[in-house]
Amino acid sequence: MPFELTHERIAAENGKRLKWLEEDYEHLGRQLARRGADIEKLTERAMAFRVAIPSWGVGTGGTRFARFPNPGEPRNVFEKIEDCDVVFKLVRTTPGISLHIPWDKPESAAELRSFAEARGLFFDSMNSNTFEDQPGQACSYKFGSLSHTDPAVRRQAVEHNRECLELGGKLGARSHTVWVGDGGNFPGQMHLRKALERYLDSMREIYRALPQGWRLFIEHKLYEPAFYSTVINDWGTSYYCVRELGERAFSLVDLGHHAPNVNIEMIVARLIQFGKLAGFHFNDSKYGDDDLDSGSIKPFQLFLIFNELVDAELSRVPGFDPAYMLDQSHNVTDPVESLMTSAAELVRAYVQAHLVDREQLAARQQANDALLALQSLKQAFTTDVEPILAMARHRAGGAIDPVTTYRASGYRQRAAQARPATARLGAGIV
């Protein structure tokens, strides 16, 4: 591959910033020590944090109105992995890639697997797609897929999910995420209870096909593409289904899939308590499923979600093993830059959540001292942990300043030369 982001380039850029980082790190270390926190432990936690990259996130996203492709768009799954590799090289927390089928269906699974593993990357959760029709497809998903009234359509959708499991097995994946857009646009269009029954019957077949050691994730969503009723519309319905399916089925929380102002950290606490939290599709939103960059709109909500996750981690909740993934649509930024900064925002929320003095918080909760209980959280959230995040990246061989290093590398410009634009204009999320 002609244009590669070299470790030498990263080291050169780091060299310009290391002295300042060491000063800031040492100063923060003293501040945190006064609060009884060990900066080295926090840096180790930051280095150990992992979040998967969505393959569909390295291309430019769009809306139903338009999509404005970036220069050097990845044109196939291999070029998507090249761009995921750049993100991993610079932030060091994203070795996992979540594929979407058939968008990423390879000629040879073995070739794709070795291409990724040669770069220290692996395949995280698989994602099926029964929300759009493929050329030559026998049955249309216009009126649904796993919950469709026509058993032939349901069979086709189940078969597609089985193919995803089989391909994922060859790629080394260990989980499968099922999101369906099934729903209705008009009252009366669907029988609400029967639709869910049909969906569950289809999911039971998919669950039966789950390879040894795999987990099955159900992703709920309030609305879109259906605008009146959605079969798997909220966490309660998802939770009921994963309980029905069995011990290897879990509920995945996409942050953008809730009505405005829903208390998502409380849904997370419930799913943790019920032992059914699959993990996350992290993003942010102001109104609907906007798929904006994580931490860009509601950073305090992101912190409060990680506060629940860290509390569960520290209290060793049995079976607590959430899968972290980004699921964003980068319509106006360079996707590589958005993925790097979003991955960093997750580590920030995670490290800040580890700064919460949980003994102090528990005492204040026990005493019903509402104001100081909030202060226990706010002190952690308002602590600038950037020196820890940068030092963790540096020690892991990444960039102290990922975006500046990426821009200095000229990767995007060189990608544009090497990847003549074939990207179709038009609309749509990818």
Binding site for Mn ion (CB under 5 A): 254, 281, 327
Please select the residue that binds ligand LRH; options are 289, 293, 308, 401, rule is CB under 6 A.
Answer: 289
Residue 401 binds which one of ligand LRH, Mn ion, none, with CB within 5 to 8 A depending on kind?
Answer: none
Q: What distance, in Å, lies between the first and last C-alpha atoms of the chain? A: 24
Return the number of the residue (89 or 281) whose C-beta is nearest Mn ion.
281
Number of residues that bind ligand LRH (CB under 6 A): 9
Q: Toward ligand LRH, which CB reaches closer, 81 or 325?
A: 325
Say which entry of ligand LRH, Mn ion, none residue 289 contacts (CB below 5 to 8 A, set by partner kind). Answer: ligand LRH
Backbone angles phi, psi at 257, to 5 degrees: -100, 25
Q: Cα(128)–Cα(126) distance, rounded to whole angstroms?
A: 7
Nearer to ligand LRH, 99 or 340 (CB): 99
Residue sitting closest to ligand LRH (CB): 179
Smallest separation, CB 152 to ligand LRH (Å): 23
User: Cβ-count burial of 422 within 10 angstroms (0-12 exposed, 13-18 middle, 19+ buried)?
Assistant: exposed
**Residue 406 interacts with, from Mn ion, ligand LRH, none (CB under 5-8 Å by kind):** none
Report the DSSP beta bridge partners of residue 123.
Answer: 97
Interface with ligand LRH includes 182 (CB under 6 A)?
A: no
Q: Which residue in 75, 77, 201 sits closest to 148, CA to CA? A: 201
User: Residue 258 interacts with ligand LRH (CB under 6 A)?
Assistant: no
Site map 235..254 versus ligand LRH, x via CB under 6 A: -------------------x
284 binds ligand LRH (CB under 6 A): no
Q: Is the peptide bond before 69 cis (omega within 30 degrees of 0)?
A: no
CB 257 to ligand LRH: min, Å: 7
In this structure, what DSSP letter does residue 68 have?
-
Please state the φ and ψ torsions of residue 385, each to the nearest 5 degrees.
Answer: -95, 15
How many C-beta atoms surround the C-beta of residue 62 within 10 A? 19
Hey, how many other C-beta atoms are within 10 angstroms of the C-beta on 314?
Answer: 12
Site for ligand LRH in 290-329 (CB under 6 A): 327
Least separation in angstroms between residue 132's CB and Mn ion is: 15
**Least distance from ligand LRH to the Cβ atom of residue 278, Å:** 12
Which option in Mn ion, ligand LRH, none does residue 239 bind, with CB closer than 5 to 8 A by kind? none
Closest approach of ligand LRH to the CB of residue 39, in Å? 36
Binding map of ligand LRH across residues 357-376, x = CB under 6 A, - = no contact: --------------------
Work out which of 127, 229, 238, 409 binds ligand LRH, going by CB under 6 A.
Answer: 127
276 binds, among ligand LRH, Mn ion, none (CB under 5 to 8 A by kind): none
Helix (H) or strand (E) holding 268: helix 264-273
Instruction: Give me 153's structure tokens.
Output: 């359509």
Minimum distance of ligand LRH from residue 166's CB (angstroms): 19
The answer to the question of residue 124 lying near ligand LRH (CB under 6 A) is no
Structure token digits, residue 121:
């990357």
Q: How far apart are CA 310 and CA 6, in angstroms?
A: 34
Residue 127, contacted partner among Mn ion, ligand LRH, none, CB below 5-8 A by kind: ligand LRH
Give per-residue burial for 236-268: e unless 16+ CB within 10 Å, then b.
ebbbebbeebeeebbbbbbbbbbeeeeebbebb
> How many CB atoms sit inside 10 A of residue 65's CB?
7
Measured distance CA(265)–CA(263) in Å, rounded: 6
User: 53 - beta bridge partners?
Assistant: 97
Binding partner selected for residue 176 from ligand LRH, Mn ion, none, CB under the kind-specific 5 to 8 Å limit:
none
Q: Give the ranges where 118-234 is alpha helix by DSSP (H).
A: 151-171, 192-208
Residues that bind ligand LRH (CB under 6 A): 56, 127, 179, 219, 221, 254, 281, 289, 327
